Structure 1
Amino acid sequence: MSKRKNETIEYGPLGPGHAPEKDPMKGLRGVMAGTMMMEAISFYLVLTVILRVDGGAYWTTFNWVYVTAVATVMLLLSFVQGKKWAIPADIGIQVSALLGVFVHVSMGIMAIIFIAVWWYLLYLRRNLIERMKRGLLTTQHM
């Protein structure tokens, strides 16, 4: 057992093991990149909604520029999930997407759905990191 900041890490029955043979975080980053790409595509499709709903009443310069900017940032973020600053940027863009409820309610609803997806991905990431610390991954004992 190891002490770190007044907390003890309880290892699995095989001990702490070594670094995993294959980086499990790489796979999770791939899922995060794919999720961000799907989110970008979904938010580009919001443009058709604000153009068509109520005869284009919501199609203002600010609205379409805002939706396009948010979706483009999402698209670009999907390529940089390996960077240290990617997760704070992912959370920040979710906040920006949620603020899109002022552009059109459909953007806010979609943002809430993707916020739930990102919450789950971050939960999985935290769980994976904890399992790696405790030596509970199979590839740590091969």
Structure 2
Amino acid sequence: MKSFRGVMAGMLVLEAIVVALALPVVAWLGSGIGSVTGWSVIAIAAALLVCCGLLRQSWITVVILLLQAALIAFVVALPAVAIIGLIFLATWLWLFWLRRDVARRMAEGRLPSQQV
């Protein structure tokens, strides 16, 4: 499953970029970048990048899902950021399902690379 860590790292970097690109939205529609909302979005983008270095840990999936929940919690302050969280939550759940499916097929010996 080493290759899946690469997929996760790419996804985390992509999500960090998208969350950082939400900063102009926070500045325009929210209370500004210097507000609690702005600093929270910056902190979540930074935390997503930090998670790239921690992908070997077994607890990182929980942290990733908690970061998605934090983005969705912005529905009160700024719904546009919450929509980003919902889209990426759906993507992460799909990726975790794919990983589980590949692990199950690997255990059963049904992967094409395991066929003789």
Select the residue among 54, 59, 72 that pairs with 1:85.
59
Q: Judging by fraction of residues, say which structure has more strand.
A: 1
- In structure 2, what residue type is equivalent to 1:76? V
CA distance in 1: counterparts of 2:85 and 2:20, whole angstroms = 13
- In structure 1, what residue type is equivalent to 2:70? S
User: Is the 8 Å Cα contact of residues 50 and 104 (structure 1) preserved in structure 2?
Assistant: yes
CA distance in 2: counterparts of 1:32 and 1:103, whole angstroms = 28
Give the aligned partner of residue 38 of structure 1.
14
Give the aligned partner of residue 98 of structure 2.
124
Specify the structure having the higher radius of gyration (Cα). 1
Matches within 5 A, 1:48-67: 48-53=24-29, 57-59=30-32, 61-67=35-41
Task: Tell me the CA shift for residue 141 of structure 1.
Answer: 4.7
Q: Judging by fraction of residues, say which structure has more helix.
A: 2
CA distance in 2: counterparts of 1:71 and 1:99, whole angstroms = 15
Task: Tell me the CA shift for residue 125 of structure 1.
Answer: 0.7
For structure 1, the 5+ residue unaligned runs are: 1-24
CA distance in 2: counterparts of 1:64 and 1:29, whole angstroms = 29
User: Is the 8 Å Cα contact of residues 44 and 67 (structure 1) preserved in structure 2?
Assistant: yes
- In structure 2, what residue type is equivalent to 1:58? S
Alignment of 1:69 with 2:43, yes or no, is yes
* Range with greater deviation from structure 2 (60-69 or 127-136): 60-69
User: Is the 8 Å Cα contact of residues 44 and 71 (structure 1) preserved in structure 2?
Assistant: yes
For structure 2, the 5+ residue unaligned runs are: none
Q: Work out the number of aligned pairs and report it.
A: 115
Aligned partner of residue 17 in structure 2, secondary structure: helix
- In structure 1, what residue type is equivalent to 2:10? G
Per the normalisation by structure 1, the TM-score is 0.74
Computed over aligned residues only, the root mean square deviation of the Cα atoms, in angstroms, reads: 1.6
Matches within 5 A, 1:97-116: 97-116=71-90
Per the normalisation by structure 2, the TM-score is 0.89
Using the aligned pairs only, state the percent identity: 30
Higher relative contact order (CA 8 A, sep 6+): 1
